[in-house]
A and B are shown apart, each in its own frame.
Chain A
Amino acid sequence: MFYREAGDFKTSYSSDQQTFPIRLDRHMVWGILAIAFFVVPFFINDYWEKSVLLPFLVWAMAALGLNILTGFCGQVSLGSGGFMAVGAYACYKLMVAFPWMNMFIVVILAGLITAVVGMIFGLPSLRIKGFYLAVATLASQFFLVWLFNKVPWFYNNSASGMIVAPERTFFGIPLTGAESPSWITYLFCLTLVVVFAFIAHNLIRGRIGRSWMAIRDMDIAAEIIGVPPLKAKLSAFAISSFYIGMSGAMMFAIYLGTAEPTEAFGISKSFLVLFMIIIGGLGSILGSFLGAAFLTLMPVLLKNVMVNGFGWPADLAAHIELLLIGALIMFFLIVEPHGLAQLWRVTKEKLRLWPFPH
């Protein structure tokens, strides 16, 4: 009743195909963005920054990237961790080589470098499909991590083999390193994620997105209609890796400040991103955010409830947390196999008709 499209008439094609066609949706999104940009920065503290907001934003970016490849183009990839590593190391090398460079540009360049690497590792997708492709992309995961461990050039011969983000300022305010205030790191990541989420949506609703989805839904028919499979698949790999590379760069430079390949970008990270988009919803921008939120925020919430709320010992809480997360994943996938985004979509359909059943 309160959420409806009745009376919300569209009189032009451009208003019919806008990003949020329903008025209430539009207001809600602008409202959330306004709060995120203009309210949260005044109240953010170190805890909220480091354990809630930054991880969410970083993983949302990675999930967006993988969703473009897997959810929209139908190519399963287990190389996300490796591509995040490429983004992180590219970011490090750029920061060291060009200390004067604006961090936005550094992160975007790191993404572009990852896009090139992603395209190279996407080449097998022209011959291999489905689970076999997933296994083939594992090669990139292991090779890239090995490469960053093995070649000292990547970590500038540092004795520990780790890379540490040098301090860089953003218009005079320290953005990376220990001195940086919470609000600027948060706003930096938020801006990138929001801008690139809209860009992802624009790509998906146009020619390029349709060529991806055509390949996903039926590659033979896509080809007969005039979609060159090579171009569609490689562009999906490139843009997906671009996003994942940016997320790796953000994770290293802004969120963690240090990284070494085996721990930070291991195979478990590849799986984590894949689980995010499966739980959130394949082929949905919103789903990428919901999945990232579920898998980064739920552990924090559960830990807080159990340790601070019930006063349980931390180690016990950590184990129960794992159990509960597992159970919740199963619960949500049984309730809605198409992910949280679909759950939201169904709720919206119901709300449109409420209080009538049909």
Chain B
Amino acid sequence: MAESTQDGRKIGGTLLEVKNISLSFGGVKALTDISFDIKEGEIRAIIGPNGAGKSSMLNVISGFYHPQQGEVWFRGQKRGSMRPYEVARQGIARTFQNIALFKGMSTLDNLMTGRITQMHTNLFWQAIWKGPAEREEIAHRERVEHIIDFLGIQAIRKTPVGRLPYGLQKRVELGRALAAEAKLLLLDEPMAGMNLEEKEDMCRFILDVNDEFGTTIALIEHDMGVVMDLSDRVVVLDYGRKLADGTPAEVRSDPEVIKAYLGGAHA
């Protein structure tokens, strides 16, 4: 089942599959009959013009929206109607288009919050602190410090996130999603509003996460250069419908896609 990419990464079986998803808000059809899959270990891009339904798709996957029709299969099992925190507990983490960090908390606390699904000491031990609670805290702190190291944000460990510049906040948000050690990482425009250098950094992080931790990544991005370089496969949405699905090269040469989205200039 496993196939290799040119750069030697392993791509496994299907991790997540959406089947015939239709979602509408009142009379507005956000998604119509969308099906695609995400394979284990790959970087999957979802692209499309504004209002195409990309973020709605992610919201369906992470449990914010409940589609009227269709099914979500995760790790070979059909998923019932779930609240977002239950989805998180299954092993899906995500970042948001507009940063959704906990502004009053420090970088370290934000990342530690990312591990909350894996912390279990009860109220009593938390109140006593010495003993199980402290041991658990330190064990998780070590994992979090590893991520802080990986992202190069040691210097802002104790800084309240609200005081950080935009690029760093995006990085902390990625860190928080990483801290969850999820099977599937959903990134909603991880590079929006960044300058070239920050974008390059972020690309490197995404590739490294995929490579080192073997995390499957689904990302929405508008920067076509980034999408084409990073992703293994691309799914293109427009007006809530699926236009194309395939490798970057296939998608790029698809006449439908060129017409709807990339435009003549990019072809």
Contacts and interface: CB of A to CB of B under 8 A. Distances in A.
Contacts of A283: 104
Contact of B180 (A208, A218, A226): A226
B109 A210 contact: yes
B126 A202 contact: yes
Interface residues of B, number: 40
A130 interface: no
B179 to A, nearest CB: 9
Contacts of A211: 113, 116
Q: Which of A203, A210, A211 has the most CB of B within 10 A?
A: A210
Contacts of B138: 13-14
A213 B109 CA distance: 10
Interface string B210-247: 00000000000000000000000000000000000000
B84 A224 contact: yes
Contact of B100 (A199, A207, A221, A227): A221
B176 interface: yes
Nearest to B135: A14
A313 interface: no
A235 B124 CA distance: 13
B28 interface: no
A224 B62 contact: yes
**Majority DSSP secondary structure for residues of A touching B:** helix
A14 B116 CA distance: 19
Contacts of A203: 123, 126-127
A50 interface: no
B84 A223 contact: yes
Contact of B116 (A17, A210, A218, A235): A210
Contacts of A227: 85, 113, 116
Nearest to A239: B123
B142 A225 contact: no
Q: Which of A199, A220, A228 has the most CB of B within 10 A?
A: A228
B102 A214 contact: yes
Nearest to B140: A207
A14 B101 CA distance: 25
Contacts of B176: 225
A8 B30 CA distance: 57
Contacts of B145: 13
Interface string A158-178: 000000000000000000000
B113 A214 contact: yes
A355 interface: no
Contacts of A13: 137-138, 141-142, 145
A349 interface: no
Nearest to A220: B100
B79 interface: no
Nearest to B130: A202
Interface stretch (B5-13, B88-96, B147-155, B189-197): B88-96
A228 B126 contact: no
B101 A218 contact: yes
A93 interface: no
A224 B142 CA distance: 23
B104 A207 contact: no
Contacts of B102: 213-214, 216-218, 221-222
Given A203-B126, A203-B127, A225-B180, A210 B88 contact: no
A207 B121 contact: yes
Q: Which of A216, A224, A235 has the most CB of B within 10 A?
A: A224
A206 interface: yes
Contacts of A228: 83, 85
A217 B106 CA distance: 12
Q: Which of B85, B94, B100 has the most CB of A within 10 A?
A: B85
Contacts of A205: 129
A210 B93 contact: no
Q: Which of A206, A217, A225, A228 has the most CB of B within 10 A?
A: A225
A221 B103 CA distance: 11
Contacts of B103: 217-218
B113 A210 contact: yes
A144 B138 CA distance: 43
Given A207-B133, A213-B109, 18 more contacts: A13-B137, A14-B138, A202-B126, A202-B133, A203-B127, A207-B121, A207-B126, A210-B105, A216-B104, A217-B101, A218-B103, A224-B85, A224-B96, A225-B85, A225-B88, A225-B113, A226-B89, A226-B116
Interface of B: 62, 64, 83-85, 87-89, 93-94, 96, 100-105, 109, 112-114, 116-117, 119, 121, 123, 126-129, 133-134, 136-138, 141-142, 145, 176, 180
Interface of A: 13-14, 17, 199, 202-203, 205-208, 210-211, 213-214, 216-218, 220-229, 235, 283
16 contacts: A17-B137, A202-B126, A203-B123, A203-B126, A203-B127, A210-B109, A213-B105, A213-B109, A217-B101, A218-B100, A223-B83, A224-B87, A225-B85, A225-B113, A226-B117, A226-B180
Ranked nearest first, the 8 interchain pairs of A and B with the lowest CB-CB distance are A226-B88, A226-B117, A221-B100, A217-B102, A202-B129, A207-B119, A223-B84, A199-B127
